[in-house]
Copies of this chain bind each other. A is one copy, B any other.
Amino acid sequence: MFESAELGHRIDKETYRKEVAPLREALLDTQLDLLESRNCPVIVLIAGMDGAGKGETVNKINEWMDPRHIDTYVFGPPSDEEAERPPMWRYWRTLPPKGKIGIYFGSWYTDPILKSADGKLENEALEEALERIVRFEQMLIDEGALVLKYWFHLSKEKQKERMKKLENDPLTRWRITDQDRKHLKIYDELKTVAEGVLRETSTAGAPWIVVESFDANYRNLTVGKHIQQAIRERLDEKPARSSTLNAPPLKVAIDSTNLLSQLDLTKRIEDKEYDKKLERYQAKLNKLTRDPKFTKMSVICVFEGADAAGKGGCIRRITEAVDARFFRVIPIAAPSEEERTQPYLWRFWRHIPRLGNVTIFDRSWYGRVLVERVENFCSEYDWMRAYGEINDFEEQLALHNFLVVKFWLQISKEEQLQRFEARQNTPYKRFKITKEDWRNRDKWEAYEAAACDMIDRTSTDSAPWTVVEANDKNFARIKVLKTLCERVEKAL
């Protein structure tokens, strides 16, 4: 992997000067086209050996381009707000919107590489981490991002030489930290690990670019030209990248039996029993969320179901039981302007709470495989890949002590009709039945099929779906509360 990066590439001063002027022009031109077209976000990862001049090159890129539309991020130890979320949260919150460039100085690779070279990460754990990274980057690419990854390489001798040079100059001495000295000692381990990591995470959509880094001129020109060409190529792609897919159908319906059709929707709880059970489970939930151990976890509830399935009513039975200081309900409607400039999961990541909280999503990221699928708001390829992406997202939450509890509320088509009519006739309830609700109703079967696929493909050990028979509101609410209590109790 590093063979070509130990050849001693050099660019002399004069050639450099001659090359830089047109490169700057091209970079600025490309950047402005990117900005105006809002074609895609550009995510630039800068990684590599210590003392390889990563900082200098990043500064050069900023100098050559318009710094108003580049954001450079450096990732030190996480802040307390970051430490309470899954590790990827800090990267999600900084993703550049379409048309902008984000430079990541240190990234999701830093931890796995350093820990592994230090012997603090088993091979198997490293493999898992890398797989997750590959899937994450694939998602970024599928969402339209241009992902550019640069590895700044120095041979051991060159690294020693460069560090000595930096140390001898009082103006640059501050740059050499104890950590750098330590890393030089484990150069061979770092190189071996890095080589493996780069190989496994070089994908067709996001290959690593290894840059020999001893000579600043060569390094800067290489990265500058590569960035320029990569963005320009992306802009020139015509027509825009289409995501067509010739996938086999997810299911062939031989009979009419499916996950939802075979539910017993006649299940009921009488009012008197309901009142008793409601009190019991609300008290229990209240107690559970006041458990001292609860401050070390968070709960994410997801509610999905047809219109008028009773999501709001179930949510209220939960919020009534939890101190208002510790819950938040996030109603999900169409994405905002800012949210539309980002990968679709971005707007959910921004609501991931700190520890000790209950966050309830009234509709959720599952819109991707429900309404967006049925209404053709996204391509088949987009919703097909969403199953895996969503599982990855929820896995990250689960690994970080977030309990993910998902409810699908199922009502019959007849029950929905009755509720729609009741709403229309009860002005004070103020629930509006819109034309859209009636339109969605016409696609009942398509939504049901989408829901079945969703439940099949995103019920995981750590985040299983609970299907709730919801024709009877009493029954549904109690089942939701009971399930939630059991999950929280088990997690504590």
Verify if A320 is at the interface (C-beta below 8 Å from B): yes
CB contact between A320 and one of B63, B74, B430 (< 8 Å): that residue: B63
Complex Cα distance A81/B89, Å? Answer: 15
Cβ B312 vs Cβ A62 within 8 A: no
CB contact between A67 and one of B32, B62, B329 (< 8 Å): that residue: B329
Which of A68, A72, A105, A327: most chain B Cβ within 10 A? A68
Q: Which residues of B sit under 8 angstroms from A320, Cβ to Cβ?
A: 59, 62-63
**Stoichiometry (number of copies):** 2
Cβ A68 vs Cβ B312 within 8 A: yes
Give residues 167-226 of A contacting B (CB, 8 Å): 174
Cβ B32 vs Cβ A430 within 8 A: yes
Chain A, interface residues (CB within 8 Å), range: 35 or more
Nearest-neighbour CB distance to chain B for A48, whole angstroms, equals: 16
Nearest-neighbour CB distance to chain B for A480, whole angstroms, equals: 15
Is chain A's interface secondary structure helix, strand, loop, or mixed overall? helix
Residue of B nearest to A325 (CB): B74
Q: Which residues of B sit under 8 angstroms from A436, Cβ to Cβ?
A: none
Q: Which residues of B sit under 8 angstroms from A165, Cβ to Cβ?
A: none
Nearest-neighbour CB distance to chain B for A335, whole angstroms, equals: 10
Cβ B316 vs Cβ A67 within 8 A: yes
Verify if A324 is at the interface (C-beta below 8 Å from B): yes
Complex Cα distance A316/B65, Å? Answer: 9
Cβ A103 vs Cβ B68 within 8 A: no
Give residues 295-332 of A contacting B (CB, 8 Å): 312, 315-316, 319-320, 323-325, 327-331
Cβ B325 vs Cβ A29 within 8 A: no
What are 24 A-B residue pairs whose CB atoms fall within 8 Å in the complex? A25-B428, A29-B428, A29-B430, A32-B430, A59-B320, A59-B324, A61-B324, A62-B319, A62-B320, A63-B316, A66-B312, A67-B324, A67-B327, A68-B312, A69-B331, A71-B328, A72-B324, A72-B325, A72-B327, A73-B325, A81-B81, A105-B325, A337-B337, A338-B338
User: Apart from A63-B316, A68-B331, A71-B328, what are 7 other A-B pairs with CB-CB below 8 Å?
Assistant: A25-B428, A59-B324, A66-B316, A67-B315, A67-B319, A68-B329, A336-B338
